[in-house]
Amino acid sequence: MATETRDLWHATTILAVRKGDRVVIAGDGQVSFGQTVVKANARKVRRLGDGKVIAGFAGATADAFTLFERLEAKLEQYPGQLTRASVEMAKDWRTDRYLRRLEAMMAVSDKSVSLMLSGTGDVLEPEDGLIGIGSGGNFALAAARALIDRPELDAEAIARRALEIAAGICVFTNTNIVVESL
Taking only the tens place, the pLDDT of each residue in 98-139 is: 665 666 789 999 999 999 998 777 899 999 999 999 999 999
Give catalytic residue positions: 12
Rounded CA separation 44/8 (Å): 15
- Identify the band that residue 7 occupies on the pLDDT scale cut at 50, 70 and 90: very low
The pLDDT of residue 102 is: 64
11: number of Cβ within 10 Å: 23
When pLDDT is cut at 50, 70 and 90, the band that residue 61 belongs to is confident
Asked if the model's pLDDT at residue 97 lies above 70, the reply is no
What is the reported pLDDT for 11? Answer: 74
Whether residue 90 has pLDDT greater than 60: yes
Q: Rounded to whole angstroms, how far apart are CA atoms 133 and 85? A: 20
The mean pLDDT of 6-35, rounded to a whole number, is 84
Residue 99 has a pLDDT of 62
How high does pLDDT run on average in the chain?
Answer: 88
Name, in order, each residue with C-beta under 8 angstroms of 97's C-beta and a sequence gap of 6 or more.
none
Domains defined along the chain, listed by start: 2-173 (3.60.20.10)
- Residue 78: pLDDT over 90: yes
* pLDDT at residue 13 tops 90: yes
Identify each DSSP E strand in 100-177 by its residue range.
105-109, 114-118, 123-124, 130-133
**pLDDT, tens digit, for every residue of 42-54?**
899 999 989 999 9
Task: Please say whether the beta carbons of 157 and 28 come within 8 A.
Answer: no
| Distance of alpha carbon 72 from alpha carbon 63, whole angstroms | 14
- What three-state secondary structure class fits 38? strand
Confidence of residue 1 (pLDDT cuts 50, 70, 90): very low
Q: 128-141 burial string, b = 16+ CB within 10 Å, else e?
A: ebbbbbbbbbebbb
